[in-house]
Amino acid sequence: MLLLLIVPCLAATSQNMDSISKALSRGDVESLSTYFDENVEIDDDFYDKSEAKAVVKKFFSKNPPKSFSLIHQGTSKDKDSKYFIGNLNAASGTFRVYVYMKLSGSQPLIQELRFDKE
């Protein structure tokens, strides 16, 4: 019975990761921000959802994305959080991107987003 509940959550998480990856590759803040939790940590600072959206929009305006490639992904031991790491190829260089998500019900929400210049 528990397996029947976990499988749809994992499938939804995988679809969300694909959508988040596509939003990162396009610099699509509107789509990306739909996955933000109420508070998001971005590069060691905490923002509410609307502030986080503005911070990411400013980042993308300074660093227009060309592509995003997934490098690694994982799930916590208790399956309530997921993360992935990828490379964002931007006009200004390459950034290592870290995305940490926690399940809220069956919806994974971004808790942390980090852009580290390579």
Which single residue is written with the structure tokens 């396009």? 26
Architecture of the structural domain at 2-117: Roll (3.10)
CB under 8 Å to 72, separation ≥6 — which residues? 84, 85
pTM of the model: 0.84
Residue by residue, pLDDT tens for the chain (118 residues) are 444 444 444 445 567 889 999 999 999 999 999 999 999 999 999 999 999 999 999 999 999 999 999 999 999 888 889 999 999 999 999 999 999 999 888 788 999 999 999 9
